[in-house]
Amino acid sequence: MNAAPRQGGCPGASIQSSAEAFNDCCYMESDGRRTPGILLVVRSVALGALAAVAVAATSVATASTTAKPALRLTRGTDAIVVHGSGFYAGERVLVKLVATTTRTQTVRTRVVGTFAARFGGASVNACDAVFVQAVGRRGDRAVLKIFPRACLPANSP
């Protein structure tokens, strides 16, 4: 290949300008052409890999925004817990629970766009209608409606 490294070489060379940096990291071919040295090739590959990681991280961060926001209700022994998913990461969400009483709570979503809002002291039975609404600061919203079962009135014969 008859390539000879330029004076100074890449590693440890004293570089005053970017033009000199390019010249120091290139090899001069016998026909006068310049070809990139190993440092320039490694730097290009590293920058390409960094750009690919940035694109992948952006697509993962927006993956939670492509899912439609949804709500799920779980009943514990002493609390009702509303689980939400599909919201923006790190977003503040106002959760409103309407059953026998109305309660609100503001929560912040996790990195994956999920949250859990715990309403302590709230109780719901199968004969109660339940309405849950979650509204994010960026405008995404989810609604959960649970209709009451056909229950007999309390003073029926």
Residue 79: CB atoms within 10 A of its CB come to 14
Element (H, E) at 104: strand 102-108
Residue 9 clears pLDDT 60, i.e. is over it: no
| 70 pLDDT higher than 70 | yes
pLDDT score at 154: 67
Q: Do the Cβ atoms of 10 and 38 come closer than 8 Å? A: yes
For the chain, what's the residue count? 157
The confidence score (pLDDT) of residue 28 equals 63
> Helix, strand or coil for residue 16?
coil
Q: What is the pLDDT of residue 1?
A: 52
Predicted confidence band at 110 (pLDDT cuts at 50, 70, 90)? very high
Q: Tell me what the pLDDT averaged over the chain comes to.
A: 77
Residue ranges covered by each domain of the chain: 4-65, 67-146
Residue 58 has pLDDT above 70, yes or no: no
Question: Taking the model in full, what pTM does it have?
Answer: 0.55
Contact between 108 and 90 under an 8 Å Cβ cutoff? The reply is: yes
Query: Rounded CA gap, 70 and 140, in Å?
Result: 10
Within the chain, residue ranges assigned H as helices are 18-24, 38-66
CATH code of the domain occupying 67-146: 2.60.40.10
101-140 core/surface letters (b: 16 or more CB in 10 A; e: else): eeeeeebebeeebebebebeebebeeeeebebbbbbeeeb
48: tokens are 């390409």
Distance CA 154, CA 157 (A): 9
**CA 20/CA 120 separation, integer angstroms:** 68
For the stretch 10-35, pLDDT in tens is 444 444 455 555 555 566 666 766 66
Q: Among residues 60, 128, 56, 62, which one has the least CA distance to residue 91?
A: 62
Q: Which of 2-11, 36-45, 78-87, 135-144 has the lowest mean pLDDT?
A: 2-11
